[in-house]
């Protein structure tokens, strides 16, 4: 099965596809009203999306023009990838970001070539796994990287991989022959929450991630704030407590010292006078331990 063609959408066509993705199924008249388009424009914009297998007309009464439009989840599969310092994690999803299959590959090294090979192996493996998702071929690949990413392709810097100026999108696209989008991992998470997750109905929200570092992304007026420094841990060293512990950079009571996995483990271990792993902290908290 050859992949259904995937042409990047722009302007009003992108707006129509996103509106249906986030709020569908929607009738054409609903869509026209929500996007402030004429019925004629909407018909003209939606027809190629239906032809491309992106949108589908649901069965229903009435003429074809009045049938509600929804996203066609069966025609495309996507692979989402997260690159950490020691492994690559990949999932195959449908167009609603529902997980169909999961893979993981330890990294033998963090050179661009090592990462490209690991990602390509997982994408090929998932593409060949026809048990999940009805065998639709992989249409495109999205990669989240903890670092500065330019133009949804070029990793300007990612300290944990020791990368400067690596065009990961181009390397992967050349290797796989598929469209590839690369972005900062926290911005990607914000967009996922906006399109598919808990924040679907919110025009303004923030995403906080707590782990090896503290990540932060902001959505204002329904747009992800994606400035040059967005998503790269500017919140990580914000002061939280004037008498808190000290981070490796010497800040007293900053977010890095208090909210990272290492920070939480250190604090809990001091409080309980024994080594406490992060998973144990979560279990203790869930059990009501103050």
Compare residues 193 and 256 and give the one whose CB is closer to Zn ion. Answer: 256
| Interface with Zn ion in residues 220-239 (CB under 5 A) | 237
- 256 counts as binding Zn ion under rule CB under 5 A: yes
Residue 58 tokens read as: 């649901």
Compare residues 7 and 249 and give the one whose CB is closer to Zn ion. Answer: 249
Compare residues 156 and 237 and give the one whose CB is closer to Zn ion. Answer: 237
In sequence order, the β-bridge partners of residue 214 are: 210
- 107 counts as binding Zn ion under rule CB under 5 A: no
Count the neighbouring beta carbons within 10 Å of the beta carbon of residue 98: 12
Comparing CA positions, the residue from 210, 205, 218 lying closest to residue 255 is: 210
Min dist CB 255 to Zn ion, Å, is 7
DSSP notation for 191-221: HHHHHHSTTTT-SSEEEEEESSSEEEEEEET
Compare residues 250 and 288 and give the one whose CB is closer to Zn ion. Answer: 250
Min dist CB 32 to Zn ion, Å, is 51
DSSP-based three-state secondary structure for 239: strand
Q: State phi, psi for 106 to the nearest 5 degrees.
A: -65, 145
Min dist CB 263 to Zn ion, Å, is 10
C-alpha–C-alpha distance, residues 81 and 270, integer Å: 36
- 249 counts as binding Zn ion under rule CB under 5 A: yes
49 close to 76: Cβ distance less than 8 angstroms: no
Compare residues 230 and 235 and give the one whose CB is closer to Zn ion. Answer: 235
- 247 counts as binding Zn ion under rule CB under 5 A: yes
- 175 counts as binding Zn ion under rule CB under 5 A: no
- Which range of residues in 101-109, 142-150, 248-256, 279-287 is near Zn ion by CB under 5 A? 248-256
Min dist CB 235 to Zn ion, Å, is 11
Min dist CB 229 to Zn ion, Å, is 17
β-bridge pairing 77-83 and 148-150: unpaired
Number of residues forming the site for Zn ion (CB under 5 A)? 6
Compare residues 142 and 263 and give the one whose CB is closer to Zn ion. Answer: 263
Please tell me the number of Cα atoms within 13 Å of 61 on its side-chain side. Answer: 0
C-alpha–C-alpha distance, residues 79 and 64, integer Å: 33
Site for Zn ion, rule CB under 5 A = 237, 247, 249, 251, 254, 256
């Amino acid at each position: 099965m050859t992949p259904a063609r995937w042409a990047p959408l722009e302007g009003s066509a992108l707006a129509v596809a996103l509106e249906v993705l986030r709020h569908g199924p929607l009738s054409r008249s609903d869509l026209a009203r929500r996007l402030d388009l004429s019925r004629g424009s909407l018909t003209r914009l939606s027809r190629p999306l239906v032809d491309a297998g992106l949108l589908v007309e649901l069965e229903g009464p009435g003429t074809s023009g009045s049938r509600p439009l929804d996203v066609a989840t069966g025609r495309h599969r996507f692979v989402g990838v997260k690159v950490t310092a020691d492994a690559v994690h990949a999932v195959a999803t449908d167009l609603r970001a529902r997980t169909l299959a999961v893979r993981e590959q330890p990294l033998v090294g963090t050179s661009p070539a090592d990462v490209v090979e690991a990602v390509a192996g997982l994408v090929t493996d998932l593409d060949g796994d026809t048990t999940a998702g009805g065998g639709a071929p992989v249409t495109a690949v999205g990669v989240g990287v903890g670092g500065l990413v330019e133009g949804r392709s070029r990793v300007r810097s990612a300290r944990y991989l020791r990368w400067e100026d690596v065009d990961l999108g181009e390397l992967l696209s050349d290797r796989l022959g598929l469209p590839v989008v690369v972005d900062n991992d926290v911005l990607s998470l914000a967009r996922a929450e906006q399109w598919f997750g808990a924040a679907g109905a919110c025009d303004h929200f923030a995403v906080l991630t707590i782990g090896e570092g503290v990540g932060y992304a902001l959505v204002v007026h329904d747009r992800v704030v994606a400035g040059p420094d967005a998503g790269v841990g500017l919140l990580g060293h914000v002061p939280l407590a004037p008498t808190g512990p000290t981070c490796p950079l010497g800040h007293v009571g900053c977010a890095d010292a208090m909210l990272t996995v290492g920070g939480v483990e250190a604090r809990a271990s001091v409080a309980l006078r024994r080594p406490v792993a992060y998973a144990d902290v979560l279990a203790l908290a869930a059990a009501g331990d103050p």
